[in-house]
């Protein structure tokens, strides 16, 4: 007779599907336990707890049907990139399953971050795990692990969580100050996800050549192989929409 496993990380939480008693297991005939459908989702969330996975307030309302994205879809410079992002989202499950990523490049204010947030928002809506960071903030978070107290993640734990999420969304690639330490951290993170076939989405103001100078050819090579590149052109939308 199989009893329900104990010491589950979510044993006292309600089942999001309303099926099990919150343990992640369903007791069937002859007291044989079988896993609830919620179990895999909840174990995945517990493995990546501690990473930034919430959409920032400014981008929580992003939608293809609302400005600025609806305006971008009607403009010559940006209608193509918007369509590519729409296609990526329409095939999101298979793209993430295959480790396919997205690389959004262009000048400041052209809508890269907004389009990337659309992808992350949809991934979260579909139940995928997502980590969202600007690169400077991510590197600062990694540095803090070196002085981690008993209630903080160690470097190895945090690194494992970054490599475990279904989608790693990093904004502002190339905005960090170049150093040997930065090159080492970026290569380790990108290479780990490359080998595990896990998706990365990035935004950058830099061309491929300039990004190679900033973060190294080995790292850029892996990003180039796994990410669909989408270039955005046009004026700075932030300045266009700024109040007089």
Please report the pLDDT score of residue 111 as a whole number.
94
Domain boundaries, the chain: 1-47, 53-240
The answer on pLDDT for 222 being more than 70 is yes
- The model's pTM is 0.79
Please report the pLDDT score of residue 183 as a whole number.
94
Please report the pLDDT score of residue 11 as a whole number.
46
Chain segment 127-168, per-residue pLDDT in tens: 899 999 999 999 999 999 988 777 778 899 999 999 999 999
What would the two tokens of residue 155 be?
A: 């470097």
Mean pLDDT along residues 210-214: 94
Please report the pLDDT score of residue 168 as a whole number.
97
CA distances to 85, 144, 163 from 148, rounded to whole Å, are 38, 6, 19
Architecture of domain 53-240: 3-Layer(aba) Sandwich (3.40)
Q: HEC profile for the chain?
A: CCCCCCCCCCCCCCCCCCCCCCCCEEECHHHCEEECCHHHHHHHHHHCCCCCCCCCHHHCCCCCCCCCHHHHCCCHHHHHHHHHHHHHHHCHHHHHHHCCEEEEEECCCCCHHHHHHHHHHHHHHCCCCEEEEEHHHHHHHHHHHHHCCCCCCCHHHHHHHHHHCCEEEEEEECCCCCCHHHHHHHHHHHHHHHHCCCEEEEEECCCHHHHHHHHCHHHHHHHHHHEEEEEECCCCHHHHCCCC
Q: Which helix (H) or strand (E) holds 221?
A: helix 217-226
| Spatial CA neighbour of 185 closest among 204, 166, 207, 162 | 162
Chain segment 20-78, per-residue pLDDT in tens: 777 777 777 656 777 777 666 665 655 566 677 789 999 999 999 999 999 999 999 89
- Rounded Cα distance between 49 and 13, Å, is 15
The answer on pLDDT for 211 being more than 90 is yes
The answer on pLDDT for 241 being more than 70 is no
Chain segment 182-202, per-residue pLDDT in tens: 999 999 999 999 999 999 999
Chain segment 65-121, per-residue pLDDT in tens: 999 999 999 999 899 999 999 999 999 999 999 999 999 999 988 999 999 999 999
């Amino acid at each position: 007779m199989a009893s329900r496993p104990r010491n589950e990380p979510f044993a006292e939480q309600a089942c999001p599907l309303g099926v099990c008693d919150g343990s992640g297991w369903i007791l069937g005939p002859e007291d044989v336990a079988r896993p609830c459908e919620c179990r895999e989702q909840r174990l995945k969330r517990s493995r990546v707890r501690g990473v930034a996975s919430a959409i920032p307030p400014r981008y929580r309302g992003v939608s293809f049907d609302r400005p600025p994205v609806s305006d971008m879809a009607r403009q010559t410079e940006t209608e193509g990139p918007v369509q590519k992002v729409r296609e990526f989202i329409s095939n999101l499950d298979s793209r993430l399953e295959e480790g396919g990523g997205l690389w959004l490049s262009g000048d400041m204010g052209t809508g890269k971050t907004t389009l990337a947030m659309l992808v992350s928002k949809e991934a979260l809506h579909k139940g995928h795990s997502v980590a969202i960071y600007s690169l400077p903030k991510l590197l600062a978070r990694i540095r803090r692990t070196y002085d981690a107290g008993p209630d903080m993640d160690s470097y190895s734990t945090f690194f494992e969580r970054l490599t475990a999420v279904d989608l790693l969304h990093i904004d502002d690639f190339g905005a960090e100050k170049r150093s040997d330490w930065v090159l080492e951290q970026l290569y380790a993170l990108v290479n780990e996800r490359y080998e595990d076939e896990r998706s990365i989405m990035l935004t950058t103001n830099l061309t491929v050549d300039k990004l190679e100078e900033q973060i190294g050819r080995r790292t850029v090579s892996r990003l180039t192989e796994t990410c669909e590149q989408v270039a955005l052109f046009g004026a700075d939308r932030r300045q266009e929409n700024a109040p007089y």
